[in-house]
A and B are shown apart, each in its own frame.
Chain A
Amino acid sequence: MGHLKRTVPLWIAFIFGVGLIIQYFVPHPISQKALGMTQKWLVIVVFVALLLGLGSLLQSHLRKIKAQSAGWGYSVVTLSVLALTVAAGFHPNNDKPGGPLLWAYTNAYSPMSSTMFSLLGFFIASAAFRAFRARSLEATLLLCTAVIVMLGQVPLGAYIPGVSNLSAWILGVPLTAAKRALTFGVALGSIATALRIIFGIERSYLGGSE
């Protein structure tokens, strides 16, 4: 059992990791076909895992309803809507405009999603207020920079001499330099992590380091 849980996954990670690195350098159609095949396997794995996810969702909400724990009413709503959506999925008119699934998407899902997204506007304002309070030298510098950049992005900035150029310089030089430095770090970290996983040094994603 330990062999199946530890050694086999490590060998799978090694074979597919090294294989996909080599695949990047091999343009031959056989290599492309192998890549396409592994991507199809991934879809199958994801589908099976989605069934597990559905089981987990049902279990978690049924448990809440049974125990009548805090907010169990939301669980009733979730499971009812899940059942309704699945039922709507079997409706024969789904491929036509006005079918129940499309109706639910347009009239329920889409507006609710947009509502969540629009909350960002308010949250950005409150986060900006907190971030730009001039409590220290760094925060003051951040505030000044933010004001210059924001002025540079709005029509008013065009009437203040030098602001547009300064804003463009901040975005083009220090900001780009910092972003590139971060990108280099992330890229090197990704490669190091990938190597650790491929060669079995990093095993915590399997559930432990033993």
Chain B
Amino acid sequence: MIRAVAIVLLATTAAAAQAPADFKVYDKPGDAGGAIIAEWKGLPDEGKPMAEGGVEYVVSLGLSKDGPWTEIERFPGTLHRKNEAPDLFGFSKSNDSEHFIELEGLVPPPGGPWLGTGRSLPTWVKLEVKSPAGAAVAGPLMAEAAPDWWSWNKSNVLLFILFFGGATFWLISKARRDPNIFVRRIPGLDAMEEAIGRATEMGRPILYLNGLNGMDSISTIASVSILGQVSKRVAAYDSQIMVPCYDAVVLSVCQEVMREGYTAAGRPDKYREQDAWFITQEQFSYVASVDGLMIREKPAACLYMGYYYAESLLLAETGGSTGAIQIAGTDSITQLPFFIACCDYTLIGEELYAASAYLSREPLQLGSLRSQDAGKIFIIATLLIGALTAAAGFPFVKHLMATF
């Protein structure tokens, strides 16, 4: 919230120098408090070197109108233009010729910080303009930093969330009325059934990994959801599953999900808590342990779902060397090529999130998949319109999509 805005109180100390117009000092909008902004219009010829008639700005702070003053920054007329901070001033053409300075967390001697989060004192700001013709002063003006309750510069993100959320709920309600929703085939997910069947026929276990992220990662949640569906099928086929976990929280969730999976398949007696266990939270120790497990147990199928780092290739190559059918699903773009090279099937990016809905065939979940398509159509349309308008010299769509 702006606490103090004052306009043009000039006191010219040298007749030949010109003071900048519209000098304003105010609380920085959309922040946690502790910062104020000073802004002013640029002067003619300010971009020139000092010797050729350019100017130098000097910003000083004080705790009273009469000082004492502490010089905060001295800079030429080419710096601190408002176009450097679109998060504060937008994309107006006039920003090219106007200046600002953000005053935050300053520690002037000897009184300690007078601007900073959790501390705010009324602060006076003075702007001096120096040029070969002389000097002029704008201000001093006072403002007090205060915390704000809303970041207005993030409103476009909110609008997109509301649009996307609205589309999701509309499509879900549509799915409630008409549950026959077409979802394109995802071969990697269809192959899971085959992999579980193969493991049952061979009398060998299925290895299921959740990746290296915790439950705070969407990809791990998606992976755990898939595990629920896989567990149901494993229980139905009376096969065996091994879930070595990297994260202790993920382990607890996996055990619960597997128990429910076995119960849903009508085989609660077949569930064994020890089928999911914790190994370690050290990346390469985990890989060494899982690779050893693959070599010893020779699983018939290896399923890698979730987020992976450098260990992806170490796991998939070792799994491949044991002759297992391998299915991976990750949203880690850097690891996708390794999985594609080593695995029989790979769920790419968003297919991982769609897997739970695809396997469960629950209309409500399938309805939400449609909203992803709606989002994609919106993004493609925005990209096209944005590119065309920007090429024509009207970059308003580009500006509308800017995030801060």
A residues sitting closer than 8 Å to B (CB atoms) are 21, 24-29, 32, 42, 45-46, 49-54, 56-57, 59-60, 63, 70-71, 74, 109, 112-113, 116-117, 119-120, 123-124, 126-128, 130-131, 179, 182-186, 188-197, 199, 201-202, 204-209
Contact = CB atoms under 8 A, between A and B. Distances in A.
Given A74-B292, A192-B369, A120 B253 contact: no
B82 to A, nearest CB: 21
B142 to A, nearest CB: 22
Contact-residue bracket for chain B: 35 or more
Interface stretch (B6-14, B41-49, B342-350): B342-350
A207 to B, nearest CB: 4
Interface of B: 30-33, 117-118, 147-151, 154, 157-158, 161, 164-165, 168-169, 172, 214-216, 218, 221-222, 224-225, 228-229, 245, 247-249, 251-253, 256-257, 259-261, 263-264, 274, 277-285, 287-288, 292, 296-297, 310, 313-314, 316-317, 331, 333, 336-338, 340-342, 348-350, 352-354, 356-357, 360, 362, 364-365, 368-369, 371-372, 375-376, 379
A50 B248 contact: yes
Interface of B is mostly: helix
Contact of A49 (B148, B149, B248, B340): B248
A42 B215 CA distance: 11
A116 B349 CA distance: 27
A59 to B, nearest CB: 7
Nearest to B330: A186
Nearest to B256: A207
Contacts of B349: 182, 185-186, 189
Contacts of A24: 154, 157
A159 to B, nearest CB: 28
B335 to A, nearest CB: 12
Contacts of A60: 274, 277-278
Contact of A116 (B260, B288, B357): B288
A204 B256 contact: no
B148 A27 contact: yes
B341 A127 contact: yes
B256 A206 contact: yes
B257 A205 contact: yes
Contacts of A185: 349-350, 372, 376
A191 B32 contact: no
B30 A27 contact: yes
Contacts of A193: 218, 221-222, 353
B216 A42 contact: yes
Contact of B313 (A124, A192, A199, A206): A124
